[in-house]
Homo-oligomer: A and B are copies of this chain.
Amino acid sequence: MTDPLVIFTPSGKRGRVPHGTTVLEAARKLGVDLDSVCGGRGICSKCQVTPGTGQFPKHGVTVSADALSPFNAVEQRYDEKRGLKPGRRLGCQAQILSDVVLDVPPESQLHRQVVRKAAEARTVDMDPATRLYFVEVAEPDMHAPTGDLERLNAALAAQWDLPPAHAPLPVLARLQKALRAGQWQVTVALHQGHADGPAQILDIWPGFFDGPIYGMAIDLGSTTIAAHLTDLATGAVVASAGVMNPQIRFGEDLMSRVSHAMMNPDGAEEMTVAVRGALDDLARAIAQEGGIDAAAILEATLVCNPVMHHLALGIDPVELGQAPFALATSDAVNLSAADLGLGALNPAAKVYVLPLIAGHVGADAAAVALSEAPEKSDDLVLIVDVGTNAEIILGDRSRVLACSSPTGPAFEGAQISSGQRAAPGAIERVRIDPETKEPRFRVIGCDLWSDEDGFEQAVGTTGVTGICGSGIIEAVAEMRMAGLVDAGGLIGSAAQTGTSRCTPEGRTHSYVLHDGTDDGGPLVTVTQGDIRAIQLAKSALYAGARLLMDRRGVDRVDRVVLAGAFGAHISPLHAMVLGMIPDVPVDRVRSAGNAAGTGARIALCSRAARRLIEGNVRRIEKVETAVEPRFQDHFVAANALPHASDPFPELAKIAPLPQVDFNTGGSPRRRRR
Residues of A within 8 A of B (CB): 139-150, 163-164, 167-170, 172-173, 175-177, 194, 196-198, 313-316, 318-319, 323-331, 335, 339, 356-359, 622, 624, 626-627
- Do the beta carbons of A327 and B144 come within 8 Å of each other? no
- Do the beta carbons of A169 and B319 come within 8 Å of each other? no
Q: Is the interface of A mostly helix, strand, loop or mixed?
A: loop
- Do the beta carbons of A145 and B314 come within 8 Å of each other? no
Given the interface pairs A169-B335, A176-B326, the reply to whether A142 lies near B627 with Cβ below 8 Å is: yes
A323 CA to B145 CA, complexed, in Å: 11
A150 CA to B142 CA, complexed, in Å: 48
- Do the beta carbons of A330 and B176 come within 8 Å of each other? no
- Do the beta carbons of A329 and B140 come within 8 Å of each other? no
- Do the beta carbons of A145 and B316 come within 8 Å of each other? no
- Do the beta carbons of B169 and A327 come within 8 Å of each other? no
Copies of the protein in its oligomer:
2
- Which residues on the B side are within 8 Å of A175 (C-beta)? 328-329
A177 CA to B313 CA, complexed, in Å: 16
- Which residues on the B side are within 8 Å of A196 (C-beta)? 163-164, 197-198
- Do the beta carbons of A172 and B331 come within 8 Å of each other? no
- Which residues on the B side are within 8 Å of A176 (C-beta)? 315-316, 318-319, 326, 328
- Distance in angstroms from A259 CB to nearest chain B CB is 17
- Which residues on the B side are within 8 Å of A326 (C-beta)? 140, 145, 147-148, 176
- Which residues on the B side are within 8 Å of A167 (C-beta)? 329
- Do the beta carbons of A324 and B169 come within 8 Å of each other? no
- Which residues on the B side are within 8 Å of A356 (C-beta)? 147
A326 CA to B314 CA, complexed, in Å: 41
Q: Kindly report which residue of chain B lies nearest to residue A315, judged by CB atoms.
A: B173
- Which residues on the B side are within 8 Å of A358 (C-beta)? 142, 145
15 pairs from A and B in contact (CB 8 Å cutoff):
A145-B327, A148-B328, A148-B329, A149-B330, A150-B329, A167-B329, A168-B339, A169-B314, A169-B339, A172-B314, A175-B329, A176-B319, A196-B197, A197-B197, A197-B198
- Which residues on the B side are within 8 Å of A327 (C-beta)? 140, 145-148
- Do the beta carbons of B198 and A145 come within 8 Å of each other? no
- Do the beta carbons of B313 and A169 come within 8 Å of each other? yes
Contact of A325 among B145, B163, B329 (CB under 8 A): B145
A335 CA to B175 CA, complexed, in Å: 17
- Do the beta carbons of A142 and B329 come within 8 Å of each other? no
- Which residues on the B side are within 8 Å of A164 (C-beta)? 196
- Do the beta carbons of B147 and A329 come within 8 Å of each other? yes
- Distance in angstroms from A349 CB to nearest chain B CB is 16
Contact of A141 among B139, B146, B318, B324 (CB under 8 A): B324
- Distance in angstroms from A411 CB to nearest chain B CB is 25
A359 CA to B133 CA, complexed, in Å: 27
**Max count, chain B CB within 10 A of own CB: residue among A145, A194, A196, A622:** A145
Q: Kindly report which residue of chain B lies nearest to residue A145, judged by CB atoms.
A: B358
- Distance in angstroms from A296 CB to nearest chain B CB is 23
9 nearest interchain CB pairs?
A147-B330, A140-B326, A147-B329, A142-B324, A145-B358, A149-B329, A147-B327, A197-B197, A142-B624
Contact of A323 among B142, B622, B624 (CB under 8 A): B142
A175 CA to B627 CA, complexed, in Å: 25
Contact of A624 among B143, B146, B329, B339 (CB under 8 A): B143
A328 CA to B358 CA, complexed, in Å: 46
**Max count, chain B CB within 10 A of own CB: residue among A327, A328, A335:** A328
A177 CA to B318 CA, complexed, in Å: 10
- Which residues on the B side are within 8 Å of A173 (C-beta)? 313-316, 328
A313 CA to B357 CA, complexed, in Å: 40
Q: Kindly report which residue of chain B lies nearest to residue A170, judged by CB atoms.
A: B314
Q: Kindly report which residue of chain B lies nearest to residue A198, judged by CB atoms.
A: B196
- Which residues on the B side are within 8 Å of A316 (C-beta)? 173, 176-177
- Distance in angstroms from A323 CB to nearest chain B CB is 6
A14 CA to B335 CA, complexed, in Å: 48
- Do the beta carbons of A146 and B330 come within 8 Å of each other? yes
Q: Kindly report which residue of chain B lies nearest to residue A624, judged by CB atoms.
A: B142
A646 CA to B331 CA, complexed, in Å: 69
- Which residues on the B side are within 8 Å of A313 (C-beta)? 169, 172-173
A143 CA to B328 CA, complexed, in Å: 16
- Which residues on the B side are within 8 Å of A163 (C-beta)? 196
- Do the beta carbons of A142 and B328 come within 8 Å of each other? no
Contact of A147 among B142, B150, B318, B331 (CB under 8 A): B331
**Max count, chain B CB within 10 A of own CB: residue among A327, A356, A627:** A327
Given the interface pairs A170-B314, A313-B169, the reply to whether A331 lies near B145 with Cβ below 8 Å is: no
- Do the beta carbons of B330 and A150 come within 8 Å of each other? yes
A660 CA to B56 CA, complexed, in Å: 99
- Do the beta carbons of A143 and B315 come within 8 Å of each other? no
A313 CA to B172 CA, complexed, in Å: 9
- Which residues on the B side are within 8 Å of A145 (C-beta)? 324-327, 330, 357-359, 622, 624
A168 CA to B197 CA, complexed, in Å: 14
A173 CA to B309 CA, complexed, in Å: 12
* Given A145-B324, A150-B330, A169-B313, 7 new contacts (CB under 8 A): A141-B324, A142-B359, A147-B329, A169-B335, A172-B328, A176-B316, A176-B319
Given the interface pairs A197-B198, A198-B196, the reply to whether A172 lies near B142 with Cβ below 8 Å is: no
A327 CA to B314 CA, complexed, in Å: 38
- Distance in angstroms from A530 CB to nearest chain B CB is 33
- Distance in angstroms from A626 CB to nearest chain B CB is 8
- Distance in angstroms from A404 CB to nearest chain B CB is 11
A329 CA to B167 CA, complexed, in Å: 10
A139 CA to B326 CA, complexed, in Å: 9
**Max count, chain B CB within 10 A of own CB: residue among A325, A327, A329, A359:** A329
- Which residues on the B side are within 8 Å of A323 (C-beta)? 142
Q: Kindly report which residue of chain B lies nearest to residue A144, judged by CB atoms.
A: B622
- Which residues on the B side are within 8 Å of A359 (C-beta)? 142, 145
- Which residues on the B side are within 8 Å of A169 (C-beta)? 313-315, 335, 339
- Which residues on the B side are within 8 Å of A170 (C-beta)? 314
